[in-house]
Structure 1
């Protein structure tokens, strides 16, 4: 489980990076969903990052895999990392 303190610090890497940075003072805020997913709250992002073994997988490539999956359809627990 991700602590509230960590959740306050973490941001969607896509929304805070270089050319893809979103406008505003605090872009890329994340919401904990199903206890094992971090979902970007930017309206035009939709990236979702799994938490595996209590470690958030904050890779843009990982978020890209889940961008078209509805929050209600996210697998719980997240599947293991691809080999």
Structure 2
């Protein structure tokens, strides 16, 4: 089970949601399928991304540890796996 933490740097609220890897992949897949491609290139990129989500070679969909030298973005929403 993966714990996803969504942190909005403009707010003091942090939401933690625990979901399985399969559910996490299903959510990402559904989001990708909701995108209407503008052209053939975007259609190809969405197809490639879906293939990656479906078959990541056993690797987790999200990082499970912070990489060396990684810094949080200055703004926006940060999603990380714990």
Instruction: Note whether the superposition's TM-score is higher than 0.5.
Output: no
TM value normalised by structure 1: 0.27
Higher relative contact order (CA 8 A, sep 6+): 2
- Between Structure 1 and Structure 2, the one with more helix by share is 2
CA radius of gyration, larger in: 2
